[in-house]
Amino acid sequence: DKPSKDGASKDYWSSSLGNVDVHYSSGPANHWFYLVSEGSGSKTINGVNYNSPTYDNSKVTGIGRAKAEKIWYRALTTYFTSTTKYAGARTGTLKAAADLYGANSTEYKTVAAAW
């Protein structure tokens, strides 16, 4: 829900991510997946409390893990390459959401909002 809880990972993209160890600079993608699947804000899941704000404190309503997995897998296998960076990941996941659910779908809008 918030990658920075480990003390080193980043929650959001910034231009300085290129200077951060790959294990910690992956935080924005991890956070994106959480936001897409579970949504933003405070909640309790299986007895565990989470609070996952967006960068601008906007609200994201999750679409569920199964749909998030399908979108990520399609983007990974269809649009990502070995040199894909965050901007390309955003574009790829949006294309994948459009492929699977349509460009005007709730899923597409959630993917866009989560980045």
The tally of domains found in the chain comes to 1
Query: Residue 27 belongs to a domain with what CATH number?
Result: 1.10.390.10
Checking if the pLDDT of 61 tops 90, the result is: yes
Checking if the pLDDT of 42 tops 80, the result is: yes
Note down the domain range covering 83.
3-114
What does the pLDDT look like over 5-35, one tens digit per residue? 888 787 778 787 777 778 777 888 999 999 9
Asked whether 68 and 37 are in contact (CB, 8 A), the reply is: yes
What does the pLDDT look like over 73-88, one tens digit per residue? 999 999 999 999 999 9
Asked whether 6 and 31 are in contact (CB, 8 A), the reply is: no
What is the distance between the alpha carbons of residues 111 and 32, in angstroms, rounded to a whole number? 8
State residue 22's pLDDT score. 80
What does pTM read for this prediction?
Answer: 0.87
